Amino acid sequence: MAAPADRPPFARPYVGRFAPSPTGALHAGSLVAALASWLDARAQRGRWLVRIEDVDTPRCVPGADHHILSQLADCGLLPDEPPLWQSTRGQAYAAALASLQARALAYPCGCSRRDIAAALAAQGHVHQRFAERPYPGTCRDGLHGKAARAWRLHTVVDGRAAAVAWHDRRLGAQRQDVAEAVGDFVLWRADGLWSYQLAVVVDDAAQGVTHIVRGADLADNTARQIHLQQLLGLPRPIYLHTPLVLGADGHKLSKQNGAAALDTRSPLPALRAAAARLGLPELPATTRDDWLAQACAAWALSWPNRTAPMASSSVLPNEDATP
Protein backbone atom coordinates (compact mmCIF):
# COMPACT_ATOMS: atom_id res chain seq x y z
CA MET A 1 0.00 0.00 0.00
CA ALA A 2 1.31 3.39 -0.91
CA ALA A 3 1.40 5.96 1.85
CA PRO A 4 -0.41 9.21 1.03
CA ALA A 5 2.92 10.96 0.47
CA ASP A 6 3.75 8.44 -2.29
CA ARG A 7 0.75 9.48 -4.32
CA PRO A 8 1.51 11.89 -7.11
CA PRO A 9 -0.03 15.32 -6.78
CA PHE A 10 -2.90 14.70 -9.24
CA ALA A 11 -4.92 17.60 -7.97
CA ARG A 12 -2.22 20.23 -8.34
CA PRO A 13 -1.57 21.93 -11.68
CA TYR A 14 1.79 21.10 -13.26
CA VAL A 15 4.63 23.35 -12.13
CA GLY A 16 8.16 22.57 -13.26
CA ARG A 17 11.41 24.39 -12.69
CA PHE A 18 15.01 24.76 -13.77
CA ALA A 19 17.27 25.56 -10.84
CA PRO A 20 20.82 26.45 -11.90
CA SER A 21 23.63 27.37 -9.52
CA PRO A 22 25.22 30.60 -10.74
CA THR A 23 28.74 29.19 -10.62
CA GLY A 24 29.31 29.85 -14.32
CA ALA A 25 27.55 30.14 -17.65
CA LEU A 26 25.10 27.61 -19.03
CA HIS A 27 27.02 24.81 -20.79
CA ALA A 28 26.03 21.81 -22.91
CA GLY A 29 25.26 19.73 -19.81
CA SER A 30 23.12 22.26 -17.98
CA LEU A 31 21.18 23.06 -21.18
CA VAL A 32 20.04 19.40 -21.31
CA ALA A 33 18.38 19.77 -17.90
CA ALA A 34 16.98 23.20 -18.75
CA LEU A 35 15.52 22.03 -22.06
CA ALA A 36 14.08 18.81 -20.59
CA SER A 37 12.33 20.63 -17.74
CA TRP A 38 10.96 23.27 -20.15
CA LEU A 39 9.76 20.66 -22.69
CA ASP A 40 8.08 18.57 -20.00
CA ALA A 41 6.25 21.62 -18.61
CA ARG A 42 5.19 22.84 -22.04
CA ALA A 43 4.17 19.37 -23.24
CA GLN A 44 1.94 19.05 -20.17
CA ARG A 45 0.60 22.62 -20.51
CA GLY A 46 2.17 23.46 -17.17
CA ARG A 47 4.04 26.42 -15.79
CA TRP A 48 7.83 26.60 -15.87
CA LEU A 49 9.90 28.51 -13.32
CA VAL A 50 13.56 29.37 -12.98
CA ARG A 51 15.18 29.44 -9.54
CA ILE A 52 18.71 30.71 -9.01
CA GLU A 53 20.32 28.42 -6.43
CA ASP A 54 22.80 30.83 -4.91
CA VAL A 55 22.85 29.62 -1.30
CA ASP A 56 26.46 28.43 -1.63
CA THR A 57 27.67 32.01 -1.97
CA PRO A 58 31.44 31.32 -2.02
CA ARG A 59 30.95 29.25 -5.22
CA CYS A 60 28.76 31.82 -6.98
CA VAL A 61 30.28 33.91 -9.75
CA PRO A 62 29.07 37.53 -9.86
CA GLY A 63 26.93 38.11 -12.93
CA ALA A 64 26.57 34.41 -13.77
CA ASP A 65 22.89 34.47 -12.74
CA HIS A 66 21.94 37.16 -15.24
CA HIS A 67 24.14 35.57 -17.89
CA ILE A 68 22.32 32.23 -17.48
CA LEU A 69 18.95 33.98 -17.71
CA SER A 70 19.97 35.71 -20.93
CA GLN A 71 21.27 32.41 -22.38
CA LEU A 72 17.93 30.76 -21.55
CA ALA A 73 16.11 33.65 -23.22
CA ASP A 74 18.32 33.28 -26.32
CA CYS A 75 17.21 29.63 -26.44
CA GLY A 76 13.55 30.65 -26.15
CA LEU A 77 13.25 29.16 -22.65
CA LEU A 78 11.33 31.87 -20.83
CA PRO A 79 9.98 31.36 -17.29
CA ASP A 80 6.34 32.10 -16.50
CA GLU A 81 7.24 34.11 -13.40
CA PRO A 82 10.18 36.30 -12.42
CA PRO A 83 13.07 34.08 -11.24
CA LEU A 84 13.49 33.37 -7.54
CA TRP A 85 16.90 33.86 -5.91
CA GLN A 86 17.55 31.51 -2.99
CA SER A 87 19.71 34.15 -1.33
CA THR A 88 16.44 36.01 -0.59
CA ARG A 89 14.84 33.01 1.11
CA GLY A 90 16.70 32.79 4.44
CA GLN A 91 13.61 33.43 6.55
CA ALA A 92 11.75 30.50 4.99
CA TYR A 93 14.72 28.18 5.55
CA ALA A 94 15.03 29.38 9.16
CA ALA A 95 11.33 28.67 9.76
CA ALA A 96 11.72 25.13 8.39
CA LEU A 97 14.76 24.49 10.57
CA ALA A 98 12.93 25.89 13.62
CA SER A 99 10.02 23.53 12.98
CA LEU A 100 12.41 20.55 12.89
CA GLN A 101 14.27 21.78 15.98
CA ALA A 102 10.99 22.20 17.89
CA ARG A 103 10.20 18.54 17.25
CA ALA A 104 13.78 17.39 18.08
CA LEU A 105 14.22 16.17 14.49
CA ALA A 106 17.35 18.30 14.09
CA TYR A 107 20.34 18.54 16.39
CA PRO A 108 23.53 20.57 16.66
CA CYS A 109 26.82 19.00 15.56
CA GLY A 110 30.27 20.09 16.66
CA CYS A 111 32.30 17.84 14.35
CA SER A 112 34.94 19.10 11.95
CA ARG A 113 35.64 17.18 8.74
CA ARG A 114 38.66 15.71 10.49
CA ASP A 115 36.53 14.56 13.47
CA ILE A 116 34.14 12.83 11.06
CA ALA A 117 36.95 11.13 9.12
CA ALA A 118 38.53 9.93 12.38
CA ALA A 119 35.24 8.59 13.74
CA LEU A 120 34.56 6.74 10.49
CA ALA A 121 38.07 5.27 10.42
CA ALA A 122 37.56 4.06 14.00
CA GLN A 123 34.36 2.34 12.82
CA GLY A 124 36.32 0.60 10.04
CA HIS A 125 34.71 2.65 7.25
CA VAL A 126 36.78 2.71 4.05
CA HIS A 127 36.27 5.95 2.13
CA GLN A 128 35.83 5.70 -1.63
CA ARG A 129 36.78 8.70 -3.72
CA PHE A 130 33.71 10.71 -4.84
CA ALA A 131 31.55 8.66 -2.47
CA GLU A 132 29.44 10.34 0.17
CA ARG A 133 31.11 10.23 3.58
CA PRO A 134 28.29 9.13 5.88
CA TYR A 135 28.01 11.03 9.15
CA PRO A 136 28.88 8.61 11.96
CA GLY A 137 26.30 10.03 14.39
CA THR A 138 28.82 11.38 16.90
CA CYS A 139 26.67 14.28 18.17
CA ARG A 140 23.30 12.55 17.99
CA ASP A 141 23.16 12.23 21.76
CA GLY A 142 24.84 15.55 22.57
CA LEU A 143 27.82 17.75 21.76
CA HIS A 144 30.18 16.15 24.35
CA GLY A 145 31.49 19.59 25.30
CA LYS A 146 32.16 20.72 21.73
CA ALA A 147 30.72 23.96 20.35
CA ALA A 148 27.84 23.62 17.87
CA ARG A 149 29.03 24.18 14.30
CA ALA A 150 26.19 22.85 12.15
CA TRP A 151 22.66 21.48 12.44
CA ARG A 152 21.88 18.00 11.21
CA LEU A 153 18.65 16.14 10.46
CA HIS A 154 17.88 12.81 12.13
CA THR A 155 17.70 9.98 9.60
CA VAL A 156 16.67 7.51 12.27
CA VAL A 157 13.30 8.69 13.56
CA ASP A 158 11.42 6.89 16.33
CA GLY A 159 13.96 4.07 16.11
CA ARG A 160 13.38 3.55 12.38
CA ALA A 161 16.03 4.26 9.75
CA ALA A 162 14.73 6.38 6.89
CA ALA A 163 14.57 4.02 3.92
CA VAL A 164 13.14 5.96 1.00
CA ALA A 165 11.65 4.29 -2.06
CA TRP A 166 10.68 6.46 -5.00
CA HIS A 167 9.94 6.26 -8.67
CA ASP A 168 11.91 8.03 -11.39
CA ARG A 169 10.27 8.41 -14.80
CA ARG A 170 13.50 7.38 -16.56
CA LEU A 171 15.41 5.34 -13.99
CA GLY A 172 12.42 3.41 -12.64
CA ALA A 173 12.19 2.18 -9.06
CA GLN A 174 14.78 3.71 -6.74
CA ARG A 175 15.57 3.08 -3.11
CA GLN A 176 18.04 4.46 -0.61
CA ASP A 177 18.60 3.81 3.06
CA VAL A 178 19.41 7.40 3.92
CA ALA A 179 20.68 6.60 7.41
CA GLU A 180 23.22 4.14 6.03
CA ALA A 181 24.16 5.91 2.79
CA VAL A 182 24.64 9.44 4.09
CA GLY A 183 23.62 9.46 7.74
CA ASP A 184 22.20 12.49 9.54
CA PHE A 185 22.80 15.20 6.96
CA VAL A 186 23.43 18.90 7.33
CA LEU A 187 20.68 21.54 7.21
CA TRP A 188 22.70 24.51 8.42
CA ARG A 189 26.36 24.40 7.54
CA ALA A 190 29.34 25.11 9.75
CA ASP A 191 30.24 28.03 7.46
CA GLY A 192 26.92 29.70 8.27
CA LEU A 193 25.15 28.78 5.01
CA TRP A 194 21.93 26.89 4.39
CA SER A 195 22.35 23.43 2.95
CA TYR A 196 21.34 22.67 -0.60
CA GLN A 197 18.93 19.95 0.58
CA LEU A 198 16.94 22.22 2.88
CA ALA A 199 16.77 25.11 0.42
CA VAL A 200 15.59 22.91 -2.46
CA VAL A 201 12.88 21.18 -0.46
CA VAL A 202 11.52 24.39 1.08
CA ASP A 203 11.51 26.25 -2.24
CA ASP A 204 10.00 23.46 -4.33
CA ALA A 205 7.09 23.32 -1.89
CA ALA A 206 6.74 27.10 -1.64
CA GLN A 207 6.68 27.41 -5.44
CA GLY A 208 4.15 24.59 -5.83
CA VAL A 209 6.57 22.50 -7.91
CA THR A 210 4.88 19.23 -8.91
CA HIS A 211 7.49 17.88 -11.35
CA ILE A 212 11.25 17.92 -10.92
CA VAL A 213 13.23 17.32 -14.11
CA ARG A 214 16.98 17.64 -13.52
CA GLY A 215 20.34 16.01 -14.24
CA ALA A 216 21.06 12.47 -13.11
CA ASP A 217 23.95 13.73 -10.95
CA LEU A 218 21.27 14.90 -8.51
CA ALA A 219 19.41 11.57 -8.42
CA ASP A 220 21.17 10.42 -5.25
CA ASN A 221 20.02 13.56 -3.41
CA THR A 222 16.40 12.63 -4.00
CA ALA A 223 15.99 10.26 -1.04
CA ARG A 224 17.34 12.90 1.35
CA GLN A 225 14.94 15.45 -0.08
CA ILE A 226 11.97 13.08 0.22
CA HIS A 227 12.90 12.30 3.84
CA LEU A 228 12.96 16.03 4.54
CA GLN A 229 9.64 16.56 2.71
CA GLN A 230 8.07 13.89 4.88
CA LEU A 231 9.32 15.41 8.13
CA LEU A 232 8.17 18.88 7.05
CA GLY A 233 4.79 17.57 5.87
CA LEU A 234 5.37 18.73 2.28
CA PRO A 235 4.05 17.05 -0.88
CA ARG A 236 6.36 14.85 -2.93
CA PRO A 237 6.97 15.94 -6.53
CA ILE A 238 7.30 13.54 -9.47
CA TYR A 239 10.93 13.02 -10.51
CA LEU A 240 12.71 12.61 -13.82
CA HIS A 241 16.51 12.60 -13.92
CA THR A 242 17.94 13.32 -17.36
CA PRO A 243 21.07 11.75 -18.89
CA LEU A 244 24.32 13.60 -18.21
CA VAL A 245 26.74 15.03 -20.71
CA LEU A 246 30.17 13.68 -19.83
CA GLY A 247 33.47 15.50 -20.11
CA ALA A 248 36.65 14.02 -21.59
CA ASP A 249 37.51 12.55 -18.17
CA GLY A 250 34.25 10.55 -18.07
CA HIS A 251 32.75 12.68 -15.31
CA LYS A 252 29.75 14.96 -15.55
CA LEU A 253 30.54 17.94 -17.79
CA SER A 254 31.46 20.91 -15.64
CA LYS A 255 33.66 23.96 -15.76
CA GLN A 256 36.37 21.89 -14.05
CA ASN A 257 36.64 19.40 -16.92
CA GLY A 258 36.38 21.80 -19.78
CA ALA A 259 32.71 22.61 -20.32
CA ALA A 260 32.65 25.61 -22.60
CA ALA A 261 30.07 28.32 -22.02
CA LEU A 262 27.40 27.98 -24.68
CA ASP A 263 27.29 30.56 -27.40
CA THR A 264 23.53 31.00 -27.52
CA ARG A 265 23.43 33.88 -30.02
CA SER A 266 22.40 31.32 -32.64
CA PRO A 267 20.92 28.68 -30.33
CA LEU A 268 19.76 25.94 -32.72
CA PRO A 269 22.96 23.82 -32.73
CA ALA A 270 23.07 23.82 -28.92
CA LEU A 271 19.37 22.97 -28.67
CA ARG A 272 19.74 20.17 -31.23
CA ALA A 273 22.67 18.66 -29.31
CA ALA A 274 20.74 18.81 -26.03
CA ALA A 275 17.70 17.18 -27.64
CA ALA A 276 19.87 14.37 -29.06
CA ARG A 277 21.14 13.67 -25.53
CA LEU A 278 17.49 13.40 -24.45
CA GLY A 279 16.80 10.82 -27.13
CA LEU A 280 14.61 13.07 -29.27
CA PRO A 281 14.67 12.51 -33.05
CA GLU A 282 16.24 15.01 -35.44
CA LEU A 283 13.72 17.71 -36.22
CA PRO A 284 13.45 19.51 -39.56
CA ALA A 285 12.67 23.02 -38.24
CA THR A 286 15.07 25.76 -39.26
CA THR A 287 14.06 28.48 -36.82
CA ARG A 288 14.31 28.39 -33.05
CA ASP A 289 10.62 28.77 -32.34
CA ASP A 290 9.56 26.20 -34.94
CA TRP A 291 12.17 23.83 -33.55
CA LEU A 292 10.90 24.31 -29.97
CA ALA A 293 7.33 23.58 -31.09
CA GLN A 294 8.45 20.39 -32.87
CA ALA A 295 10.56 19.40 -29.87
CA CYS A 296 7.52 19.80 -27.60
CA ALA A 297 5.51 17.46 -29.80
CA ALA A 298 8.38 14.94 -29.92
CA TRP A 299 8.81 15.13 -26.15
CA ALA A 300 5.10 14.51 -25.58
CA LEU A 301 5.42 11.28 -27.58
CA SER A 302 8.64 10.14 -25.86
CA TRP A 303 7.73 11.17 -22.33
CA PRO A 304 3.96 11.04 -21.85
CA ASN A 305 2.63 12.46 -18.64
CA ARG A 306 3.15 9.71 -16.17
CA THR A 307 1.29 10.28 -12.95
CA ALA A 308 1.01 6.73 -11.65
CA PRO A 309 4.00 4.82 -10.29
CA MET A 310 5.22 2.10 -12.63
CA ALA A 311 5.27 -1.59 -11.87
CA SER A 312 8.49 -2.34 -13.73
CA SER A 313 11.83 -1.26 -12.38
CA SER A 314 13.58 -0.02 -15.49
CA VAL A 315 12.17 1.95 -18.36
CA LEU A 316 13.46 3.23 -21.66
CA PRO A 317 11.91 6.44 -22.96
CA ASN A 318 9.97 4.79 -25.77
CA GLU A 319 8.64 2.03 -23.54
CA ASP A 320 7.42 4.65 -21.12
CA ALA A 321 4.00 5.00 -22.73
CA THR A 322 0.91 4.97 -20.58
CA PRO A 323 -1.73 2.65 -22.04
Binding site for Zn ion (CB under 5 A): 109, 111, 138-139
In the complex with Zn ion, the residue whose CB is nearer, 36 or 139, is 139
Q: Which is nearer to Zn ion, 4 or 192 (CB)?
A: 192
Cβ proximity to Zn ion, 138 vs 195, nearer residue: 138
Does residue 10 sit in helix, strand or coil?
coil
Q: Which is nearer to Zn ion, 116 or 298 (CB)?
A: 116
Q: By three-state DSSP, how is residue 46 classified? A: coil
What is the closest distance, in whole angstroms, from the C-beta atom of residue 138 to Zn ion in the complex? 4
Residues 55, 58, 61, 63, CA torsion sign: positive
In the complex, the smallest distance separating the C-beta of residue 193 from Zn ion, rounded to whole angstroms, is: 17
Closer by beta carbon to Zn ion, 108 or else 172: 108
Residue 66 vs residues 28, 86, 239, 299: alpha-carbon distances, Å:
18, 14, 27, 28
Residue with Cβ nearer Zn ion (29 or 134) = 134
Which CB sits closer to Zn ion, 109 or 223?
Answer: 109
CA proximity to 245, closest of 67, 36, 76, 16: 36
Residue pair 309/6 in contact by the 8 Å Cβ criterion:
yes
Q: What is the DSSP string of 92-155?
A: HHHHHHHHHHHTT-EEEE---HHHHHHHHHHTTPPPPTTS------TTTT--TTPPP-EEEE-S
CB of 110 to Zn ion, least distance (A): 5
Phi-psi region of 280 (alpha: psi -120 to 50; beta: other; left: phi over 0): beta
Return the DSSP state at 30: H
Least distance to Zn ion from the beta carbon of 98, Å? 20
Q: How far is the CB of 146 from Zn ion (least distance, A)?
A: 7
> d(Cα 134, Cα 165) in Å, to the nearest integer?
19
**At closest approach, how far in Å is the CB of 144 from Zn ion?**
9
Contact 35, 291 (CB under 8 A): no
The DSSP bridge pattern shows strands 106-109 and 150-153 to be antiparallel
Shortest Cβ distance from residue 197 to Zn ion (Å)?
17
Which of these, 13, 3, 8, lies nearest to 208 by C-alpha position?
Answer: 13
Q: Which of 203, 199, 177, 178 is nearest to 187 (CA)?
A: 199
Shortest spacing between CB 27 and Zn ion, in angstroms: 36
* Least Å from the CB of residue 132 to Zn ion: 16
Do 164 and 176 meet the contact criterion of CB atoms below 8 Å apart?
yes
Give the nearer residue to Zn ion in terms of CB position, either 184 or 204: 184
**Residue 14 and residue 56 in contact, taking contact as beta carbons nearer than 8 Å:** no
CA-CA distances (angstroms) from residue 89 to 54, 186, 203? 10, 18, 8
Query: Which residue lies nearer to Zn ion by CB, 7 or 146?
Result: 146
